[in-house]
Amino acid sequence: MTLKDIEVIFVDDCSKDRSASIIKEYCKIYKNFKYIKLESNSGSPSRPRNRGIQAASAEYILFLDSDDMLCEGACHLLYSEAIKNDYDIVRGYLKVFKAGNQSFYMNRLPREEYENVAGIELIKNLIVRQSTTVVGLYKRDFLISHNITFDEQIRMGEDTLFLSKCYSETKKVHYINECIYYYVKRDELHNVSSTQNYGSRELNDHLAVWIGARNILKKIGLDYYKLRLHTGFRAALEYILNFSNGKIPEEDFKKLRAFLLENKYIIPKMKLNQRLQEITNAIVDGDYHSFVINTRKRILINGYDLKFIKPLVPILKEKFEVEIDEWQGHDKHDEEKSKKLLQWADVIFCEWLLGNAVWYSHNKLKHQLLFVRMHRFELFEKYGELVNVTNVDGFIAVGLYYYEMFMEKFQIPREKMNLIPNYVDIDRFRRNKESTDFKYNLALIGALPSRKRIDLAVKVLDRLLEYDPKYKLHIIGSRPEEIQWLWKKDEERNYYEQVYKKISDSPKLKDAVIFTGWQDTSEYLRKIGFVLSVSDDEKPESFHLAPAEGMASGAVGLLLKWPGVEYIYPSEFTVENIEELVAKILDLMDESKYEEYRVKGERFIRKYYHISEVANKFELLIQRGFLRRN
């Protein structure tokens, strides 16, 4: 059997990629290829398959989804068996490929359950042993004469009803002990499959399918509930746990409870783990609150100095259960507390690639997802070499420059790297300016350590004061002498003493540089016109959030071109050197030009770095992780 002997029908369910144009080109080459486009996207495989059945002219039909591949020789194997004894259905088994080069066989029957077994007994074994996928070959006349189609109102479980109808109308069913399909599980971050959502519709589909399958199979003396309900119900519980995230409505919870109470005998047969048992207990007890809490994802955030991640916590708590394991140092923590929280968590987020990432990567449990978020500091520490990379599901870099550097230094596989930027709580920062003179106020948010180059910010101010004495530089954050470990370093202390001397020796600078200490920056930025980033290009920033916060506040953020800045901020907000920075500030004193930059900056930050947008990226990362696992 060759390709020319097979009729191939492509049903386009309104795809949005280039597949349709590629298929049309193949249809020009192969006369046995047909292309059909549906009027609108159906949301499930049912309508495309039904259209394919109607359009087919071949004797037998085989279904292939976009995530399926046929094994070499599969069509010949299935067809040869079908015509040998005029079978209506021929089934085989399949191989599943998951992310990370994982693979396994499924739907394979033991020899004693198919050899010298036929009719109702074989059908019973297929129902018990095989998932309800449509892997196999079906005689077209058989489907047409018995009006067997896929239920287009069902999005989840349509295969179960289809197979139940098939099994109820024929005993001419055969199984071959051959792998005929490859099923490739996809996990693209921006291609969230419908199987990653489980809500009211999916739950009601499952209930309808179970009831429908039982009614259909009664015709041939088989009880679907006794044969397979425990498997189907457990699968539904896993869908609820992995993909509902506590969003099953109470009305549907009551339906699920009523169904389970009628069929309580399946509970021991499901062999539930502790978490699924807790969910089942809540269903049986009618405790909806406990059900919701137990079906929401449990996220554990851990690490030392959580200032960058804590603003995200309230948003995450709207959708997830969140706990914090705050460490006392880079590798110092309450281990008993960490162990207890580890047992609780579904998802572990390590903030910083430090001792916390090392500990969790060596102690995480098999079912858990572990993500490590990296900034810049960790690239020059030892901990990245001690992490168990195999146990980490994803590393997160906040900027592309360090994305590549982390990957290279610590030998992190590219498929485990993710780029998710830092974020700004725009609504907190957007406030009216205090006065009309705010453009004369420059700010440096965080001037420690010396690589933040406060000396360059002072130099910018010194040049601007030649044009107007109203300019001021506000240094927001701790002073170096307040940080014991930093002040003990001779190089750092000498650097800051020289900066202090330059300021104190200059009559125009000493009253124009204001050390504010740490402030509520969202309030303090009301008086600021420009937020600067003048960091050292030899030790560049990973992201530098300060200019973004400035833009969100209605100020203009301006940055020297340190390596990687081009991937984070638009080019019009970056300059080559101090002279250009001074010239840019002077030019933007023009009201209309300043307003143009202010609006551009705020729109850019709102589009790319809004905290809710970044929170969505974290949620998608979690969804992808659970799809890989399941």
How far is CA 146 from each of CA 149, 152, 166, 526, rounded to the nearest angstrom? Answer: 9, 17, 9, 74
How far is CA 278 from each of CA 270, 283, 292, 314, 540, rounded to the nearest angstrom? Answer: 13, 9, 11, 26, 49
Q: What is the DSSP string of 512-556?
A: TEEEEES--HHHHGGG-SEEEE---SSS--S---HHHHHHHTT-E
Q: What mean pLDDT value characterizes the chain?
A: 93
**Residue-wise pLDDT tens digits, 105-123:** 999 999 999 999 999 999 9
Q: What is the reported pLDDT for 99?
A: 67
CATH level 3 topology of 426-609: Rossmann fold (3.40.50)
Residue with tokens 């479980």: 157
Q: What is the DSSP string of 347-400?
A: EEEEESSSHHHHHHHHH--TT-EEEEEE-SGGGGSSGGGTS-GGG-SEEEESSH
Q: What is the reported pLDDT for 302?
A: 98
**Residue-wise pLDDT tens digits, 536-545:** 988 899 999 9
CATH level 3 topology of 3-149+176-187: Spore Coat Polysaccharide Biosynthesis Protein SpsA; Chain A (3.90.550)
CATH level 3 topology of 298-423+613-629: Rossmann fold (3.40.50)
Q: What is the reported pLDDT for 434?
A: 87
Angle at the Cα of 388 (from 359 to 98), degrees rounded to 5?
125
Q: Which residues contact 514 (CB under 8 A, 6 or more apart)?
A: 472, 473, 474, 475
**Residue-wise pLDDT tens digits, 300-322:** 999 999 988 999 999 999 999 99
Q: Residue 298's beta-bridge partner residues?
A: 321
Domain 298-423+613-629 and domain 426-609, same fold? Reply is yes
Tokens standing for residue 489: 């370093």
In this prediction, the residues of the chain whose per-residue pLDDT falls under 70 are 1-3, 99-100, 186-196, 630
Considering only CA atoms, which of 235, 239, 298 is closest in space to residue 271? 235
User: Do 374 and 395 form a contact (C-beta atoms < 8 A)?
Assistant: yes
Q: What is the DSSP string of 126-142?
A: HHHHS-S---SEEEHHH
How far is CA 74 from each of CA 94, 307, 461, rounded to the nearest angstrom? Answer: 11, 57, 75
Q: Where are the domains of the chain?
A: 3-149+176-187, 197-294, 298-423+613-629, 426-609
> What pTM, to 2 d.p., does this model score?
0.82
Q: What is the reported pLDDT for 244?
A: 92
CA distance 312 to 398: 14
